[in-house]
Structure 1
Amino acid sequence: MTSSTPSARPYRGMSAEQRRAQRRAALLEAGLEVLGRHGWAAATVRGVCRQAGLNDRYFYENFADLDALLLAVVDGQAAQGTAVILAAAAAAPHRLRARARAVVEAIVDFLSADPRRGRILAHEFSAHPLLQQRRRRIIRTLAGVFTAQARELLDEVPLSATDLHLTALTVTAGLWDLLTDWFRGDLDTGRDHLVDYIVAFLLTTTELAPALQHRLR
């Protein structure tokens, strides 16, 4: 007959695995708070653990170092944002303008709903080399969403696969920088006008695509 170790026994109705998942979630939330309120330059393992209400030893149970936590926080927020975009697209009518507006409103409101997200976008991505690299990966993911939506909504995609990919990267990177400037406070325009502009830009990009393809031949 075997007996479980003390750490593996249920505690307050939670298994060891559930407690570890709870601690990891607390550390991720603490990392988001530090990154989104104070900036990663001010982060320390002890400070993150204090914010999470955990002993320092639990940090290394989940993360190799602060950079690992930083990337996990950003990846988690990026995954949430991508899920918001996909959900908005799925719920919107099968029409280009309606789909574009639903997606743009969803992502702007997602970033605005938690001030920490806007601050991370506006200040932290440009301040940390690891986040600069992550920005490229996230943009590629979002460009893939753009490409899939274009193929779904357009009866005939007027660009070759290569040019559609280039267009998706250009549009996604450009809108990332536009939103970065807006959240930084560098653009004197309100939320509704920003949404209207981005929707019009996306529709114009789609309309100009055939002319672009013709000039490239």
Structure 2
Amino acid sequence: MTQQHLTSEISVEKTIKKAAKERQFKGMSLSERKLARRQKLIEAGIQAYGTHGFFSVTVKDICNEAKLTERYFYESFKKSEELFQTIFLQLIESLQQNVMQAVMQAAPDPKNMIDAGLSALFSMLKNDPRMARIIYIDAMLVQELHNHATIHETMSRFDRMIHAFVMLMMPHINLNEKEVSLIATGLNGYVTQIAIRWVMGGFRLSFDEVLHSCKIVFASLLQTLSEKE
């Protein structure tokens, strides 16, 4: 056996031993344990931020909730704002996907699409007040105080979603792209302000009242655009 082959075999053996050693702890590798700790921190963040608010929660609070030391927090996140951003993006993605799925399932009837999309949005907020607080209260405050570009850009996805929704309902609409874009921005702003008021008011307004207030505006728009079409 040549020296090169011997060195290669030793290297392979070390790699195998290292991999085996990694799996000695509860059958999980080092990378798997790190990923599991990250997920625990995310879940703890949703609970803490969603219950007490971002500005009332410290890294230590998150670690206590996750039952992990602060060393493990900084293993995954540089600071609390990074964890909050990660959580915000995860929650907003889930919200937007559910809304779009509901709209597509209700197609092609425009009124059904309006009802399905708005119902999906407000149902998710009501069913998980933590999500509602993080997206429609804390994220707005973080964006305003820190001029957070990622949060602003992510929230503006709803503009594009509504834009696509309008074009899907009325493909032959007699408006240019800029006009439709402005309408979409206005609708998003209206729904966002209704959602903020609902969440900050502790959901005291009934689901039906909130839903109806938004459906009226969308239905009026639909009627106006139908006349133009």
**Gaps spanning 5+ residues in structure 2: where?**
1-12
Aligned to 2:46: 32
Paired with 1:6 and 1:44, the residues of 2 have a C-alpha distance of 37
Aligned to 1:179: 195
Q: Report the TM-score when normalising by structure 2.
A: 0.82
Aligned to 2:29: 15
Alpha carbons of 1:7 and 1:73: their partners in 2 closer, same or farther (altered >3 Å)? Answer: farther
* Greater displacement, 183-192 / 65-74: 183-192
Aligned to 1:194: 210
Q: Which amino acid aligns with 1:100?
A: I
Paired with 1:126 and 1:113, the residues of 2 have a C-alpha distance of 20
Alpha carbons of 1:176 and 1:101: their partners in 2 closer, same or farther (altered >3 Å)? Answer: same
Q: Paired residue for 1:104, among 111, 114, 118? A: 118
Q: Which amino acid aligns with 2:126?
A: S
- Determine if contact 2:23/2:29 at 8 Å carries over to the other structure: yes
Query: Aligned runs of 1:1-217 on 2, under 5 Å?
Result: 1-2=13-14, 3-4=17-18, 8-9=22-23, 11-121=25-135, 123-128=137-142, 129-130=145-146, 133-185=149-201, 189-209=205-225
User: Post-superposition shift, 1:200?
Assistant: 2.2
Alpha carbons of 1:51 and 1:95: their partners in 2 closer, same or farther (altered >3 Å)? Answer: same
Aligned residues: 213
**Gaps spanning 5+ residues in structure 1: where?**
none
SS of equivalent to 2:190: helix
- Determine if contact 2:194/2:210 at 8 Å carries over to the other structure: no
Whose radius of gyration is greater, 1 or 2?
A: 2
Paired with 1:184 and 1:94, the residues of 2 have a C-alpha distance of 34
SS of equivalent to 1:171: helix
User: Post-superposition shift, 1:123?
Assistant: 3.5
Paired with 1:52 and 1:188, the residues of 2 have a C-alpha distance of 31
Q: Report the TM-score when normalising by structure 1.
A: 0.86
User: Post-superposition shift, 1:170?
Assistant: 1.2
- Determine if contact 1:96/1:153 at 8 Å carries over to the other structure: yes
Paired with 1:132 and 1:194, the residues of 2 have a C-alpha distance of 28
